Amino acid sequence: MNIAVFASGNGSNFEAIVQAGAEVKLLVCDKPGAYALERAESHGIQSFVFQPKNFASKADYEQEIIAKLNECEIDLIVLAGYMRLIGPVLLKAYEGRIINIHPSLLPAFPGLDAIGQAMNAGVKVSGVTVHFVDEGMDTGPIIAQEPVKIEDGDTLDEVTKKIQQVEHQLYPAIVQRVIEDLKRGVRR
């Protein structure tokens, strides 16, 4: 199974997935200069970089992405810090084959700055969710969740590090599980 990882920034989850031995064939990135691109290059993984502002519409750049995905014979899309909502064009082409990781126990704290939202709410437990992507923001069917305790006195940076440690273990394992399900014909 060939995987495309979509990332917009640092690419630490991309790195964890590659290090776990997944067949990542392509990195799709909407931010030229993102560190994830350097990570891909260091592993000899092809990158496709685009800037949405260079396209007339989301549908146009998603068609371009689909052409690249088809060229690389991609079976599964793994979002890893990709900071854009997936539109109908890509959702239809890869229905049931797009997963995302989110740094909270969804449905709590969807969207941007989930860790900051959790800290501001004063919760004692946050966590990580891996889910299938649908047309909403962090609303797709949940595949797995892992809690992370927030201790009194923890800083945002400390909680972020705790959550990333869990992400880097959980996401590669779930990617492998989804691949095995797809191989057996199990679709969500």
Strand 76-79 with 98-102, pairing: parallel
Residue 187: pLDDT band with limits 50, 70, 90:
confident
Q: Which of 43, 102, 131, 168 is catalytic?
A: 102
pLDDT of 83 > 70? The answer is yes
Q: What's the mean pLDDT when you consider all of the chain? A: 97
Digit-coded pLDDT (tens) for 132-175: 999 999 999 999 999 999 999 999 999 999 999 999 999 999 99
Digit-coded pLDDT (tens) for 11-55: 999 999 999 999 999 999 999 999 999 999 999 999 999 999 999
Overall average pLDDT of the 121-141 stretch: 97
- pLDDT for 186: 83
Angle formed at CA 45 by CA 63 and CA 50, multiple of 5 degrees: 35
Overall average pLDDT of the 60-88 stretch: 97
What percentage of the chain exceeds 90 in pLDDT? 98
In the residue annotation, 102 being an active-site residue is answered as: yes
- pLDDT for 100: 98
State residue 134 phi and psi, 5-degree precision. Answer: -125, -165
Cite the DSSP H helix spans in 21-155. Answer: 35-42, 58-71, 88-93, 114-121
pLDDT of 188 > 70? The answer is no
Task: Tell me the residue type at 157.
Answer: D
